[in-house]
Structures are given as structure tokens and as C-alpha cells.
Structure 1
Amino acid sequence: MKLSAVETAAMIVLMVEGDEVLNSDLVKQHGIKLTPRHRKNLNDLKLVETRPHGRTMVHVLTDKGWARLADEFREGVAASPGATGGALRSLAFGVARFMGRTDHRLGDLFQPEPPAEGPEGPGGVEGRVRGAYTELAREPGGWVSLTDLRRQLSELPRDAVDDALRSLNRQPDVVMVPEDNQKALRAEDREAALVISDQHKHYLAIGAR
């Protein structure tokens, strides 16, 4: 399905940021207004994941979205007519040629800023999550339940841990999966689950598998 210029522009901003972007920031900082129709189209195509965040929403590019943009760059992005649109198409072709020459992916070029150190310790909340996982896992890449992980990080706000887990889930050494046997879940397991793309995740693994 062909994307509109607005939808493509929003995806490009999400790509450059390499992380979640507030809907309000898309408007204020980038001049991109995603209408409900645009947002629904991107969500239905599984190119962008959207979730509520306070009074606004946040958007993030999915793996399928990254792949779709790579295809768009090679074949010609949807852009508004005029000089700006022409420059964008030219830039996209240039990026595609660079990836072809160097065997790089878009994800290699555009990555989020590393988390700043704060009161949560080195690496911020993501660092705390990785540290808690290391303490709980029996071996590198072993499964750790989010119930145990949240218990280990009980002093941190739920929203902060959720945001860190969603960010980690997009990193190549991290895998999150649901419980296969839903009947085995306790109430606390269901409460500890993290919802990603309408699926409840219950276990985390970091490292070689």
C-alpha cells in the first residue's frame, strides 16, 4: 500500500530519532501533523507502534517500518512536490547508495542518544534493568520473568521501567516473549506484563541465545 507524504515524513523523523517520539513533538518540532487516518494507516500496516502517554501519544518505528523505509529509499520516497520534496528524494537515494556500497542498514546510521547517567545509576533506568537482569539470570541469555525483574526494581516508577523495557526490546541482544501457557500465569504475572504491539510480554532475555 502506498504511503502519503505525511506518513513517510513521520516515519523518517522516527527513523532519525531512533526512539519513541511524542506526537506533540512531531507537530511542534517537525511540523508534521498525523491525522487519525494517517496514524491508523501506519498502525494497521504495522509500520509504526503508537501508545498513550499522558495527554498525548508516543510513536515508534517497528522493525517492519525500518524495512519499509529501506525499500522506499531504494525505490523513491513519497514526498511533497517542489524543491524540498526533490531534495528529500535525492537524499534518500544517496542514503540507499551508501547502504548498498557499505552493506550498512538504516539502523546502523540512525540510533538514539545513549542514556545519560542520572540518579538511577550509570546508563539510567536501562542500565538498572540490565543490572537487575544480570543478577536474576542463571546464565547469559537465560529467561527472567518480568515479575521478578519488577520486584528487583520496585523503587523505580513503573512508567520509567516500562519505557526502559520498550527501548531495550528494540536492541539486538534483547528478546521479550509472552508466557506460552496462559493458564499458568498468576495475577502478579499478568500485572507485571508489558504490552508491546497488543501482545503481553512476560519474560526477558539479554545476551547470546
Structure 2
Amino acid sequence: MPDKPLTPAQTAALIILMVEAGEVTNPELAERWGHTLTGKDRTQLNDLKLVESKKVGRSYAHMLTDAGWARAAEEFRDGVNAPKGSVGGALRALVFGVHRFIRRTDQTLAEVFARDEDVRDGTATPGEVPGKPRTVPGAGTSQDPETRPDTGADTNTGTDLETRIRDAYRRLASAPNAWVGLASLRASLGGAGRREVDDALRLMIAMPGVRIVPFDNQKALTPDDHDAAVVIGDQARHLIMIGA
């Protein structure tokens, strides 16, 4: 179980923000779900770095952080803190069923709860928001190639870089269908540009047999693991598996 249990109201906010899969204001939360994130519940979730909130007019807008997605995954795995009674029981049963589906299909919550408009026409991988600046640990967020810092890195993209990633995975994998850390993968690509590798990984995740997932035990991650993560659907992912 997570170190510090959330209150039922905080758990409800976490689940609702996960379903929203994007930024949402308190008035929108009230209209859609009859629930808002205010007062101590908001400040505690902010302090725990699970939710990012910002003032919009006279209200607040909220969005799950990477840590929030990870905490939601823990709640789904270990069981949510829901009040006793028929409604709480139904919520626990629903969470259990979703977790069973995730385990059976090897998907992530970000993929399950991706908004329709974010994945329509195959223009974005599940959970990724088209047009949203991609914030990656250790990298800039500018989308303008002219303002991109010169790293002296290789700028190969597309199928060439995909082939290099697949070759690097095969060299690093200890067995067929083994998980490989992105820190090791990036180090073996011979100086390929950070953004080019990120874009290639975001394309590859939609391909058959390719899985890119967060590491379950966030506390075990090293600084190199955090820096090498690729952000997909507001979720930092650290491991790749390419099936046969």
C-alpha cells in the first residue's frame, strides 16, 4: 500500500482527474461529477506532488502529475480507500475489474483513460495530448528546432532511428521479451538526439509488440533513470520491451 493513505475525497479526486486525463477546473468538476478539489484536500495533494493546481480566474484548475498517475496505479493495484456501503463497494469492485483488465492486457492507466480526441485518427499515442509541450526530465520544452540547444547529437529520425533502437534493445535484452531500461537504451544509441529518440519512442509505442511502461517501484529509480524517462500521456516511462 502507499505510505500515506489518501482520504476518500482525495481518492475520488485522483480517480476523477485520471478519467479526465487533462487539465480541468473546479466548475467543470462540479458540473460533470458533482465533486471539486478544494481546501485541505487540494493542498495535501499538491504537497504530495500528486496533483498540479493553478489559479484560473476565481477558481482552480487541476491535472495529475507523473507521481499522481503512479499513485493512481498503486491505488488500483492495492485497493482504493472508499467509504463503506453500496456506492463504496461498487467503486472498489470497479477498480478491481479495471486493474484485472490492465494486468491481463499489459496496458497502463494512461492508455485506458486516454481521451478520444487525443488518439483519434492515430495522430497521438494513447494518453498523449497533441500540441501540448512535451516536458522531459533533463531536456528543454521548446518545440522550435531553431531554439533547440545544440548537443552535437545525431539527428537521424524515422525508420533509421527505429531500427537502431530495435538493434540496441536486442543487444541489451537478457532474454526474449525482457524489459530494458531507457537509461541503458539511450546510452547505447551512439549520441542520438534526445528529442529524436523521444519522438521515435512515442511512435513505436503504438506498434505491435512494443511496450514502454513506468517502473513500478518509483523509489528504486536512480537519477539516470529519471533523466532517461520518456513522457507519454503525462506519465514518465522508464522501461521498454519489444516482443518477437
TM-score, normalised by the number of residues in structure 1: 0.58
- Structure 2: any 5+ residue segments left out of the alignment? 135-141, 149-153, 158-191, 196-229, 237-244
User: Residues 59, 87 of structure 1: CA spacing in aligned structure 2 closer, same or farther, 3 A cutoff?
Assistant: same
The 2-side partners of 1:47 and 1:133 are apart by: 26
Q: Give the C-alpha shift of residue 67 in structure 1.
A: 1.1
Asked if 1:133 is matched to 2:143, the reply is yes
Within the candidate set 7, 14, 28, 2:17 is matched to 14
Contact 1:10/1:26 (8 A) holds in 2: no
User: Residues 53, 109 of structure 1: CA spacing in aligned structure 2 closer, same or farther, 3 A cutoff?
Assistant: same
1:20 maps to a residue whose letter is E
1:104 maps to a residue whose letter is Q
Contact 1:42/1:48 (8 A) holds in 2: yes
CA RMSD of aligned residues (A): 3.5
2:89 equivalent in structure 1: 86
2:115 equivalent in structure 1: 112
User: Residues 173, 135 of structure 1: CA spacing in aligned structure 2 closer, same or farther, 3 A cutoff?
Assistant: farther
Q: Give the C-alpha shift of residue 52 in structure 1.
A: 1.1
Asked if 1:44 is matched to 2:30, the reply is no
Contact 1:19/1:111 (8 A) holds in 2: no
User: Residues 27, 170 of structure 1: CA spacing in aligned structure 2 closer, same or farther, 3 A cutoff?
Assistant: farther
For 1:152-167, what aligned pairs fall within 5 Å after superposition? none
2:6 maps to a residue whose letter is L
Q: Give the C-alpha shift of residue 54 in structure 1.
A: 1.9
Contact 1:47/1:64 (8 A) holds in 2: yes
1:107 maps to a residue whose letter is A
Q: Give the C-alpha shift of residue 33 in structure 1.
A: 3.0
User: Residues 65, 173 of structure 1: CA spacing in aligned structure 2 closer, same or farther, 3 A cutoff?
Assistant: closer
Q: Give the C-alpha shift of residue 113 in structure 1.
A: 3.8
Quote the sequence identity (%).
45
The 2-side partners of 1:143 and 1:91 are apart by: 39
Provide Cα deviations, 1:35-86, integer angstroms capped at 9, x if missing partner: 3100011011111110111221110011111111111112110112211111
- Structure 1: any 5+ residue segments left out of the alignment? 116-121, 145-168, 176-209
Asked if 1:72 is matched to 2:75, the reply is yes
The 2-side partners of 1:75 and 1:14 are apart by: 19
For 1:196-207, what aligned pairs fall within 5 Å after superposition? none
The 2-side partners of 1:49 and 1:127 are apart by: 19
1:103 maps to a residue whose letter is D
User: Residues 63, 24 of structure 1: CA spacing in aligned structure 2 closer, same or farther, 3 A cutoff?
Assistant: same
1:27 equivalent in structure 2: 30
The secondary structure found in structure 1 opposite 2:232 is coil
TM-score, normalised by the number of residues in structure 2: 0.50
The 1-side partners of 2:132 and 2:78 are apart by: 42
